[in-house]
A and B are shown apart, each in its own frame.
Chain A
Amino acid sequence: MKSLAELAAIKEKMQSKVVLREGSSDIRVVVGMATCGIAAGARPILNAFVEQVNKEGLSDKVMVTQTGCIGICQYEPVVEVFEAGKEKVTYVKMTEDKVKEIVEKHLKGGKVIEEYTISKV
């Protein structure tokens, strides 16, 4: 059974990192999670981003957050990527496979996957 002791161990481990983390996320991934997004399948997309970012060791660099309706419901699930000094990238009609590719090529590799963005639909 998962114990609270494990949680305490996570705390110990994190405390050394916390100071570093503060304000150090360079990239913000925002998933649209209003009724339109949820109905179109945004929940697994959000969770896939959280898991993939962790798996690729990007937790210190990338922050995954949720927002309401972005306003282009016909293209949901919609994900926006904000990076300081760069133009916002809007990925549309997201799937879990696209998430893996975006984490690997864009968030890790720095290369926008144009064919998944709103400008290509």
Chain B
Amino acid sequence: MKELSLNILDIAKNSVKAKATQVCVTLNETDDTFEMIISDNGCGMKQDFLKTVTDPFSTTRTTRKVGMGIPFLKLAAEQTGGSFGITSVHESESEEHGTETRAFFHKNSVDFTPLGDIISTVITLIQGSPDIRWIFRHSMPDKEVALDTDELRAVLGDDVPLDNIEVIMWIKGYLEEAYAQSE
């Protein structure tokens, strides 16, 4: 992946597939470090499967027998001297089920992949799954950018879906302005 924002898109799609109704994408950035946490309330994974998810030959795909999403993210984090972790509670185990994927990066490493176009990732996720509650928060040393689709839905009501093109363009403009502020 050329940008970390593409890894985020890819991993968050797993939450969509796990039938989550709420997905949090949290980015914590300091001058030297970058942490991403993607957590959902989806169906979760059984412990046996969870142990194998960092193995490329473990996948839920039906088109082939390899799954590269999680191995790509793990590699991207570990090649900077950072770390990767994933925890999950399967729906058969508890009412409080879901998955949390966490990756930690050292930004000063030559192997750190830049975040890239995170705004495109956020609008792609909302466009693809407008019925999920997306909670995005990006903390940076000097500011914070946040978006909770429930707040948008409160204004739009039930008749206008979040994947409406004008709504998507509004979200894009909103995030662009939020990122541009005090820079």
Contacts and interface: CB of A to CB of B under 8 A. Distances in A.
Taking chain A's interface residues, is the majority helix, strand, or loop, or is none over half, making it mixed?
helix
Given A2-B174, A38-B6, A69 B61 contact: yes
Interface string A7-34: 1101101110010000000000000011
Given A35-B10, A53-B165, A66 B127 contact: yes
Contacts of A39: 1, 6, 10, 68, 72
Contacts of B117: 43
A34 B9 CA distance: 9
Contacts of A64: 127
Contact of B69 (A1, A7, A15, A35): A35
Interface in A41-91: 43-44, 46-47, 50, 53-54, 59, 64-66, 68-71, 73
Interface size class of A (residues with CB under 8 A): 20 to 34
A12 to B, nearest CB: 9
B60 to A, nearest CB: 10
A41 B53 CA distance: 24
B128 A2 contact: no
Nearest to B70: A35
B47 interface: no
Interface stretch (B35-43, B106-114, B154-162): B154-162
Interface stretch (B85-93, B94-102, B118-126, B137-145): B118-126
A14 B127 contact: no
Nearest to A53: B165
Contacts of B127: 46, 50, 64, 66
